[in-house]
């Protein structure tokens, strides 16, 4: 017969298993949270970009119902003329359904020797263009990626000397 005032103490093994279960559960929850957030960013990428780059995504032209957009070939030539210092030319264009949004020209250059995601693309830039005037609305990613490329080359030179 047990005494009423004493509690049975949990075994050492049971305490260990509960702690392992707790920490593995927290670790797996963090992984699930990171995966879920990255997937949400991937799914809502277009909406997030439109919110963060509103001055680039929307051209702000008035009375667009009566205006006609410039031909794609002409817009492409204008973009490539403005980006003559780039190692790649604008080859792809995204035309939005909403006429108040700017056309988006992509500059992409792949690396055939790249074996993972970070090595497979050398250049990936987007330029927003007002399709009615041909004015490029450069987005902030151009200076940022340029800085990253410069920084990488700078560090590479330091390590080789």
141 close to 57: Cβ distance less than 8 angstroms: no
Nearest CA to 59 among 134, 140, 144, 143? 134
Comparing 146 with 39, which gets the higher pLDDT? 39
What local confidence, expressed as pLDDT, does residue 30 receive? Answer: 95
100 CB burial (10 A radius; 0-12, 13-18, 19+): exposed
Q: Is the pLDDT of residue 35 over 90?
A: yes
Q: Is the pLDDT of residue 156 over 60?
A: no
3-state secondary structure the chain: CCCCCCCCCCCHHHHHHHHHHHHHHHHHHHHHHHHHHHHHHHHCHHHHHHHHCHHHHECCCCCHHHCCCCCHHHHHHHHHHHCCCCCCCCCEEECCCCCCECEEEEEEEECCCCCCHHHHEEEEEEEEECCCCCCEEECCHHHHHHHHHHHHHHHHHHHHC
Q: How confident is the model at residue 84 (pLDDT cuts 50, 70, 90)?
A: confident
Nearest CA to 92 among 101, 76, 105? 105
Global pTM reads 0.59
pLDDT in tens, 59-78: 888 888 888 888 989 988 88
What local confidence, expressed as pLDDT, does residue 151 receive? Answer: 57
Q: What is the pLDDT averaged over residues 110-132?
A: 78
Q: How confident is the model at residue 140 (pLDDT cuts 50, 70, 90)?
A: very low
């Amino acid at each position: 017969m047990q005494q009423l005032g004493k509690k049975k103490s949990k075994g050492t093994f049971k305490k260990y298993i509960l702690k392992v279960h707790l920490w593995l559960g927290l670790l797996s929850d963090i992984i699930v949270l990171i995966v879920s957030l990255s997937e949400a960013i991937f799914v809502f990428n277009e909406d997030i970009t439109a919110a963060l780059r509103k001055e680039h995504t929307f051209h702000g032209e008035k009375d667009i119902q009566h205006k006609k957009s410039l031909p794609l070939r002409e817009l492409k030539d204008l973009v490539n003329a403005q980006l003559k210092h780039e190692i790649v030319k604008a080859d792809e264009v995204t035309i939005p359904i909403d006429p108040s949004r700017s056309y988006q020209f992509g500059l992409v250059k792949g690396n055939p020797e790249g074996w993972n995601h970070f090595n497979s693309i050398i250049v990936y830039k987007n330029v927003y263009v007002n399709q009615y005037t041909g004015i490029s609305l450069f987005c902030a990613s151009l200076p940022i990626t340029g800085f990253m490329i410069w920084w990488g080359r700078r560090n590479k030179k330091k390590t080789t000397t």
